[in-house]
A and B are shown apart, each in its own frame.
Chain A
């Protein structure tokens, strides 16, 4: 990819972030503020000596422990953000190739020398890597504030605070795992990503109704004509988080290189190619 083509793709990603800044930046930032406020409020409910012993216990617990080994513990903190991310990811994908046709701004986007392939890929990369990055950045901010707060408490209560440093390192490593998990999840859910993009590009109105309706119809027809539930079972079989969440660096290879993952990517790529073709004409 030459320099201009790379710059062009980065511009497309920037466009996605600007257009969806509420979903990608403001929403996690608001959730972070809410959680921090709740944490501070809860801490205020404890007597001073209990708070001091709690901080001392945490610092002692993590002192000297491997941040990589302890990282999965801190992945729990990311759960609300992950739920928020995937709720918004669904809304984003459903509207990504529909909204601009609805408000006619597609005529502007299509009047630029940007291929439909690049446009659609920019949506995929945005949801697989860019949006999670912003969520991770916000989470990093949350962990940083928490660490500073615990450190200040430690200094105030005259507690050995080295363990808090270990905690922070483990939290940072957990963010790496969460980010890798987000990318692997997007690949694992590639058929769903492709399906939503396909109907986002196809539907003249209510893309969700089309995406859900056609899926239910295909499942019903399979059951009615062949007496089988292969489609429903296949979708259900891909819902287990153990198939895409990364708890250690070793998990990465296992999650990425297996038959189920590669088959899913293949199916998703076909559906995304369909979305690219649908995007060709605006009428």
Chain B
């Protein structure tokens, strides 16, 4: 499988703050990749680097192009929705459609109009008159009407209520994703996208702490609830994380064969949220 994103030793500093520290990143073509990390971890910097909106050091290829020198050509194949309402507030809905139609060679106007006809967004309103949910719906309708190979979403549902969030991801899967296109999503609401993902990247303090296919997680990570008398034996296998759970103790192991863990009890594959916490604590404890 080829990688649509190939990055080696990416570095980015803002003054004395190092936002990215030697980031290596490969994202396979056709995947739905979740980029998960706490605030200030470097998610937005990474995504902005991928689409040529911030300068980074290191080797970087996205869809076969270097975004730093070829941004405008790259953006024929990549769409981006940011975590803030970035559609120009002074434009009318019909004008933003005209604009994208005028500048993007792969935009399908009829599809955008058809997608918008299923919403309650009026075409004669200015963006500033729309609710945040409507602006996100509009932006999604625009990018879904562009025939691109990569969609980059930076906290796209931030500030939306549950109905808009669910509708957003339903549309993304039903109307955009076809198995060949790649989607990179950065979000805090891990639980909402967990079932969509085929690839997972954790980033913390500018460093990638996990970069794996979802199918590999079951082989690599195991969660087990250990009874008190077996805890010392479990500790000896160096769990990456442990937590109290309803009076019992849950351990998360990385790279330990399941056969070795069976003795402790029922085995689970940790959820993305639990794994995220485990990997971050593991990374923070070195």
Contact = CB atoms under 8 A, between A and B. Distances in A.
Interface of A: 4, 7-8, 10-12, 14-15, 18-19, 100, 103-116, 118, 280-283
Contacts of A281: 52-55
B171 interface: no
B105 A113 contact: yes
Nearest to B92: A18
Contacts, number: 88
Nearest to A8: B103
B273 interface: no
A280 B55 contact: yes
Contact of B90 (A4, A19, A109, A118): A19
A174 B237 CA distance: 90
A112 B88 contact: no
A7 B102 contact: yes
Nearest to A22: B90
A111 B54 contact: no
Contacts of B88: 19, 100, 103, 105, 108-109
B102 A113 contact: no
Contacts of B98: 11, 14
B55 A11 contact: no
Given A100-B88, A112-B104, A107 B75 contact: no
Nearest to A4: B105
A56 B267 CA distance: 104
Given A11-B102, A281-B54, 11 more contacts: A4-B105, A18-B91, A19-B88, A19-B91, A104-B84, A104-B86, A111-B80, A113-B103, A113-B105, A116-B71, A282-B54
A111 B79 contact: yes
B86 A11 contact: no
Interface in B55-108: 55, 68, 71-76, 79-80, 82, 84, 86-91, 95, 98-105
B72 A10 contact: no
Nearest to A281: B55
A277 to B, nearest CB: 11
User: Considering residues A12, A15, A109, A116, which has the most beta carbons from chain B within 10 angstroms of its beta carbon?
Assistant: A15
B51 interface: yes
A282 B102 contact: no
B53 A107 contact: yes
Contact of B73 (A111, A113, A116): A113
A249 to B, nearest CB: 35
The 7 A-B pairs at the shortest CB distance, nearest first, are namely A11-B102, A113-B75, A111-B80, A283-B54, A115-B72, A105-B88, A107-B86
A109 B91 CA distance: 12
B103 A108 contact: no
